[in-house]
Chains A and B, each alone.
Chain A
Amino acid sequence: MLFDRSTTDDSRDMHSFTISPMNVVRITNDAVDLDVLNAFQQLQPDDGSDLIVELIDLYLQDASQRIGEITEASAKGEWATVNRAAHNLRGSSSNLGVRHTAEICGELERADGRLARAAVAELIERLKAELVRASELLIAERQRRLQ
């Protein structure tokens, strides 16, 4: 589920990883370059929808799925799947200005059996943590736009 808030540490486990609307407080972090994201405003259609909100929703949903794939595939040693999921997540992250997530994905794209399991696990944990930071900003931006 896309905006199913779960604040326990368990929410970082691979199958229960969810991204959720935080209490909307003033959130500032450098996980997302909002200028990059909001540049897509110029493509805004006239149909009353909000393209940026749709992009945020799709991105968060997709990112959550990709992290699940990465976590599961790395546990099985399926590196091609890990690399492809990381590659895809890097593409959308870099395009929407989700910078650090894109950087970590770049590292996971090169992960293979030669990298220690603990190192891969650490990268995945960093990815999850970074995406949580990014989602805080993205969800705050989403709510700001819907007000």
Chain B
Amino acid sequence: METFRMTLKQPAPKRVLVADDDPVMRLLITTILKQQDCEAVVANDGREAYRILQTDSRFSAAILDMTMPFLEGLDLIRYMRSERRLMRIPIMMITAAQDIKLMASSFTAGATAFLPKPFTPEQLQSAIRMLLGNRDSTRRAA
């Protein structure tokens, strides 16, 4: 009798761009991404994120801080939404700003989700989960 052996190929981990100049935030986000079997590609400021995005578009999502040195999160969103190879990547904006106008500006620029600080671990986890499960650019406040 013929036997069939099927090898299931492990799916490649989802890659997520994380751009934040706050090391506390980077640790929290990368910890959750690891738990969700994702690979975090980390940028310490907006310019570093921009440089990464110039040559790499294989991201399942991007998590950006609003206020960063050299290049702000909003500028990065606008860049990503203007580039064909990047425009479908869901983006979550994180900010400590308590201004509703900034949330509106983020969505207008093309953000998929918006998470204001402070947040609880559950809120961060569910926002990231939502972002990774959401590739259709539906806009939501986390």
Contact assessment for A54 and B27 in the assembled complex, using a CB-CB cutoff below 8 Å: yes
Q: How many residues of B contact A (CB 8 A)?
A: 23
The DSSP consensus for interface residues of chain A is: helix
How long is the Cα–Cα vector from A88 to B96 in the complex, in angstroms?
8
Q: Is B105 part of the binding interface, using a Cβ–Cβ cutoff of 8 Å?
A: no
How long is the Cα–Cα vector from A84 to B46 in the complex, in angstroms?
14
How long is the Cα–Cα vector from A36 to B122 in the complex, in angstroms?
12
If A43-B121, A45-B31 touch, whether A96 touches B67 (CB-CB below 8 Å) is: no
Q: How many whole Å from B28's CB to the nearest CB in chain A?
A: 7
Contact assessment for B22 and A40 in the assembled complex, using a CB-CB cutoff below 8 Å: no
Q: Is B34 part of the binding interface, using a Cβ–Cβ cutoff of 8 Å?
A: yes
How long is the Cα–Cα vector from A39 to B22 in the complex, in angstroms?
19
Q: Is B8 part of the binding interface, using a Cβ–Cβ cutoff of 8 Å?
A: no
Contact assessment for B28 and A43 in the assembled complex, using a CB-CB cutoff below 8 Å: yes
Write out, one digit per residue, whether chain B residues 105-142 have a CB within 8 A of any chain A CB (1) or not (0).
Answer: 00000000000011111100100000000000000000
Interface residues of B in 18-69 (CB under 8 A from A): 21-25, 27-28, 31-32, 34-35, 67, 69
Q: Is A55 part of the binding interface, using a Cβ–Cβ cutoff of 8 Å?
A: yes
How long is the Cα–Cα vector from A59 to B95 in the complex, in angstroms?
17
Contact assessment for B120 and A43 in the assembled complex, using a CB-CB cutoff below 8 Å: no
If A39-B120, A43-B121 touch, whether A91 touches B96 (CB-CB below 8 Å) is: yes
User: What residues on B are CB-neighbors of A128 within 8 Å?
Assistant: none
Contact of A92 among B25, B120, B122, B125 (CB under 8 A): B25
Q: Is A27 part of the binding interface, using a Cβ–Cβ cutoff of 8 Å?
A: no
Q: Is B97 part of the binding interface, using a Cβ–Cβ cutoff of 8 Å?
A: yes
Q: Ordered nearest first, which 4 A-B pairs have the shortest CB separation?
A: A91-B96, A94-B118, A92-B24, A58-B23
Given contacts A43-B35, A62-B23, 20 further A-B contacts (CB under 8 A): A39-B121, A40-B28, A45-B31, A45-B34, A51-B27, A51-B31, A59-B24, A61-B23, A62-B24, A87-B67, A87-B96, A87-B97, A88-B22, A88-B96, A91-B22, A92-B24, A94-B118, A95-B25, A95-B28, A96-B24
